[in-house]
Amino acid sequence: MQINEIIQIALFFAILILLSPVLGSYMYKVYTSEKHILSGSLGRLEDFTYKLIRVRKDEEMSWKTYLFSILIFNFCGIVILIILLMFQDFIPLNTEKLDGFPFHTAFNAAVSFVSNTNWQSYSGETMVSYAVQMIGFTVQNFISAATGIAVLLSLTRGLTRKTGKTIGNFWVDMTRSVIYVLLPLSVLLSLLLISQGVIQNYSGYRTVKTLEGAEQVIPMGPAASQIAIKQLGTNGGGFFNSNSSHPFENPTPFSNFLEMLAILLIPASLTFTYGKMTGAMKQGVIIFIVMLILFSAGLFTSLISEYLNNPVIQGAYNMEGKELRFGITNSIIWSTATTCASNGSVNAMHSSLTPLAGLIAMLNIMLGEIIFGGVGSGLYGMLIFIIVTVFIAGLMVGRTPEYLGKKIEALEIKMASIAILLPSAVILLFTALALNSETALSGLSASGPHGFSEILYAFSSAAGNNGSAFAGLNSNTIFYNLMTGFGMLIGRYGVIIPVIVIAGNLVRKNISPFSPGTFKTDNILFAIMLTGVILIIGALTFFPALSLGPIVEHILMMRGGF
């Protein structure tokens, strides 16, 4: 590793740590109706939106109404996107006359974008028209991210409000997220990316002659606008098939740095928003520190694995599957960031990572992508683990567990258990089904432990709403499109539903006053305990499966074999 790469890592951490409290404070003002820098210029757009959808911003919802609004809105999004994909050949802005999708591929892609997964079993530049990229995918990138933030806000209100019956208004939360947070940041990032050479046009594809005299088709399209929100909203779906390794999506080292930073910026900032909304900034800081420690551990483990002597390639650095423009360090920062967040974009092929780096990428997803995690979803996933940790602490000291003064009782623990177990069950059970299906096995590009990892990673990515892949599995089949589609649905809504139920139950409870016997959740001791609970649950659940894949592959690699 060179000194400039060490400087870049330090700069990445420094900017993330400096910007997160600033953006977090801004979002706190947005969601608590305080005056902020954009309230004047965009306030009329917010009011117009409420009139258009006939919503009163001062009218709040019960948890049942809030949950119903999320589910029906997301269901409509899936149906509309399926229709757009299946009939895109009848929609304008289809410069290449692309055909409509078959149902199983359309179903998979629609669920993928609505659930903030953005798993892609299709090739963007050869299968999707400009209109569907913009009206379908880019719109859902905004909406799915806003939905995640809305769920987080509902849980935060459930934890912090004194006895009540409402947890906010879904339409207001989503509207403010889009207008004041996602849209301005996306415009700014789009302009920066365009300045670096990311394309944004509506022209047809170009046919050019290469230096060897052969003809090559160069894809065009409105890429920058989608790339910005795909990173900021932790969506991850690439405009082009090779995602952020494509020079039209990610042309320069500076664009690469901006996109990596954008993946973690909003999830990291939301911890400070949460701290302000709870009235105890230490709560948000402790969560941020736990996330940062886990992120750093995964990053440096992956870097060490990539830079250490590799017996298979006789000591040379492992550059297979990586862009020469970015090298190992930039590829590993990206692979760690994109799997800690529910982003899924890639600037290198994860199938070509060393086994331990691939293991870290998989484990980040398997833990629920709570190490910063998706926009909103990462933090409410972390709060689920906090509830479990508080419950364990309460058992240890022999008193009723509390968090922020709210008693954690049977219903909260049941819902938290469901939210943790459902995605885990999808990963393990769906992988087992695939291993027993000849159709599924025929899509592998490798045999042995690496082939097992391809399937395990695919269902981890689906259930974790990540969207990245090992890049060797042919997933555009009826089996994988349907199975990963159902996995994405369970992974997204199998967590959202328990979280909203918890919010609705907690908001009705009184806040108990702090006493000398109250277990503190804003100190280093709690941070250590929370980290331990996360790792123990992950290790106990997934270590046997990981042993059959990347761990065995690492042992073989160290012996000089495959």
Share above pLDDT 90 across residues of the chain, in percent, rounded to a whole number = 74
Is residue 150's pLDDT more than 80? yes
**519 — pLDDT class (breaks 50, 70, 90):** confident
Give the whole-angstrom CA distance, residue 128 versus residue 469: 20
Rounded (10°) CA dihedral 428, 434, 436, 438 = -170
Closest Cα partner for 124 from 154, 151, 90, 85?
85
Is residue 515's pLDDT more than 90? no
Asked if residue 131 lies in contact with residue 93, where contact means CB atoms within 8 angstroms, the answer is yes
Asked if residue 420 lies in contact with residue 368, where contact means CB atoms within 8 angstroms, the answer is yes
**324 — pLDDT class (breaks 50, 70, 90):** confident
Higher-scoring residue by pLDDT: 124, 105: 105
Neighbours of 501 (CB within 10 A): 20
Closest Cα partner for 465 from 209, 6, 1, 116?
116
**316 — pLDDT class (breaks 50, 70, 90):** low
pLDDT of residue 538: 83
Half-sphere exposure of residue 100: CA atoms within 13 angstroms, side-chain side:
16
Asked if residue 469 lies in contact with residue 119, where contact means CB atoms within 8 angstroms, the answer is yes
Which pTM does this prediction carry?
0.94
Q: Which residues pair with 218 in a beta bridge?
A: 206
**325 — pLDDT class (breaks 50, 70, 90):** confident
pLDDT of residue 126: 87
Distance of CA 5 to the CA centre of its chain: 25
Is residue 315's pLDDT more than 70? no
Q: What is the mean pLDDT of residues 529-542?
A: 90
Give the whole-angstrom CA distance, residue 150 versus residue 182: 13
Mean pLDDT of the chain: 92
Give the whole-angstrom CA distance, residue 385 versus residue 378: 11
Distance of CA 194 to the CA centre of its chain: 24
**550 — pLDDT class (breaks 50, 70, 90):** very high
Is residue 25's pLDDT more than 80? yes
Give the whole-angstrom CA distance, residue 257 versus residue 385: 31
Task: Give 416-450 pLDDT, tens digit per residue.
Answer: 999 999 999 999 999 999 999 998 998 888 888 99
pLDDT of residue 557: 86
Token pair in block for residue 492: 């997204």
Share above pLDDT 70 across residues of the chain, in percent, rounded to a whole number = 99
Q: What is the mean pLDDT of residues 292-298?
A: 95
Is residue 516's pLDDT more than 80? no
What's the Cα-to-Cα distance from 35 to each of 24, 271, 314, 401, 409, rounded to whole Å? 15, 21, 61, 37, 37
Task: Give 203-235 pLDDT, tens digit per residue.
Answer: 889 999 988 889 998 999 999 999 999 999 999
3-state SS, residue 477: coil
Beta-carbon contacts of 137 under 8 Å, excluding residues fewer than 6 positions away, are 113, 128, 226, 237
